[in-house]
Amino acid sequence: MQLIIFLLSLFLLISSLLYISEGVAAGCEDWTLHGSKDVCCRKCKPGNRLVTLCGPDPSQFCMPCEPRHYTTEPMSPYCTICTQCTVQACTASSDTKCGCRPGLRCGDKQCTFCVDECKIGEEPTPQRVCRKCPEGKFNDQIHSACKPWRKSCPEGQTLEASGNASSDNRCKSVPQPSASTTVSTLHVRIPHKGKS
Ligand SMILES: *[C@@H]1O[C@H](CO)[C@@H](O)[C@H](O)[C@H]1NC(C)=O
């Protein structure tokens, strides 16, 4: 019996500490008399959802939101799931402030999740991870799609260095040809018919 009482007190202590640590007071903040023995809640305490509107016991009217849930309405019967990315953590009375830590970026318009920021030479995949640019493509910018290497150099230029994941094929100007270096000879064998 003593053990049970001890465990029960321990449980009550821990749960009250939890509520204190989350800063949420449970219950109805404002109520009015209804009939001879009932009262009705007009406004739950911040971070509480409405469970029962009227009854004899005002402590039963409102309950704090479950962990990772919040409400901004004083009379809402339910709490909303907190948005899942954090610059400022969700509390029982305000939603998460969104944005992503350095090195991460928002994964969608509403920033409901963060993804790794892809580096130069990488691109984001539909599976929300970064991968190295595949052979034949490059990316010289962060967090964007890889682009194919140029297929040829502009006229008057020649390939200087092949591309890699982070840079395109590089071209350089060909020095103006001078006559002495561009002599090419064409050897043609002409078959002889008959005897010599
Ligand atoms: C890719 O090529 C560029 C230019 O040719 C070079 O500067 C760079 O070091 C190369 N990067 C890697 C990872 O090989």
pLDDT in tens, 80-107: 877 666 677 888 998 877 787 788 888 8
pLDDT score recorded for residue 106: 84
Give the closest residue (by CA) to ligand 1 atom 1.
164
What confidence tens digit (pLDDT) does each residue in 118-134 have?
999 999 988 788 999 99
| Cα–Cα distance, 30 to 39 (Å, whole number) | 10
CA of 177 to the centre of ligand 1 (A): 29
Domain ranges of the chain: 23-98, 118-168
Q: Which atom of ligand 1 is nearest to the CA of 162?
A: 5
CA quadruple 121, 123, 127, 128: dihedral positive or negative?
Answer: positive
Long-range contacts of 110-115 (CB under 8 A, 24+ apart): 110/83, 111/83, 111/85, 112/83, 112/84, 112/85, 113/84, 113/85, 114/85
The CA 161 to ligand 1 mean position distance, Å, reads 9
**Span between the terminal Cα atoms of the chain, in Å:** 130
Residue nearest atom 6 of ligand 1, based on CA coordinates: 167
Q: Is the pLDDT of residue 34 over 50?
A: yes
Q: 48 or 66, which is more confident? A: 48
C-alpha of residue 167 to centroid of ligand 1, in Å: 6
pLDDT score of 177:
65
CA distance 112 to 93: 18
Q: 40 phi and psi, to 5 degrees?
A: -120, 140
Tell me which CATH code domain 23-98 carries.
2.10.50.10
The three-point CA angle 165-171-176 to 5° equals 170
Q: Is 170 in the pocket of ligand 1 (CB under 6 A)?
A: yes
> What pLDDT, on a 0 to 100 scale, did the predictor assign at position 127?
75
Ligand 1 contact, 149 CB (< 6 A): no
Tell me whether strands 69-70 and 54-55 are parallel, antiparallel or unpaired: unpaired
Which pTM was predicted?
A: 0.46
